[in-house]
Copies of this chain bind each other. A is one copy, B any other.
Amino acid sequence: MKSKLVSMSEAIASHVHDGDIVVIEGFTHLISFAAAHEIIRQRRRNLTLCRLTPDLIYDQMIAAGCATKLVFSWAGNPGAGSLHAFRRAVEGQGPDLEIEEYSHFGMVARFSAGAARLPFWPLRNYMGTDLPTVNPAIKSVTCPYTGEVLATVPALNPDVTIVHAQRADEQGNAQIWGLMGVQKEAAFASDRVVVVVEQLVDESVIRADPNRTLIPGMIVDAVVVEPWGAHPSYAQGYYDRDNDFYVAWEAISRDVGRMDAYLDEYVYGVRNRAEYLAKMPGTAERLRAKERVCAGVNYGY
Contact = CB atoms under 8 A, between A and B. Distances in A.
A142 B178 CA distance: 38
Given A120-B144, A148-B119, A296 B298 contact: no
Interface stretch (A82-90, A96-104, A207-215, A244-252): A207-215
Nearest to A209: B294
A199 to B, nearest CB: 11
Contact of A301 (B139, B180, B290, B295): B290
Interface string A262-301: 0000000000000000000000000001111111111111
Count copies of this chain in the complex. 2
B292 A295 contact: no
A148 B162 CA distance: 30
A156 to B, nearest CB: 12
15 contacts: A119-B143, A119-B145, A120-B144, A144-B152, A178-B299, A209-B294, A211-B212, A236-B298, A237-B298, A237-B301, A289-B300, A292-B298, A292-B300, A293-B296, A294-B299
Given A118-B122, A141-B141, A239-B301, 12 more contacts: A118-B123, A119-B145, A119-B148, A119-B150, A145-B154, A180-B211, A205-B295, A212-B297, A237-B299, A289-B301, A293-B296, A295-B296
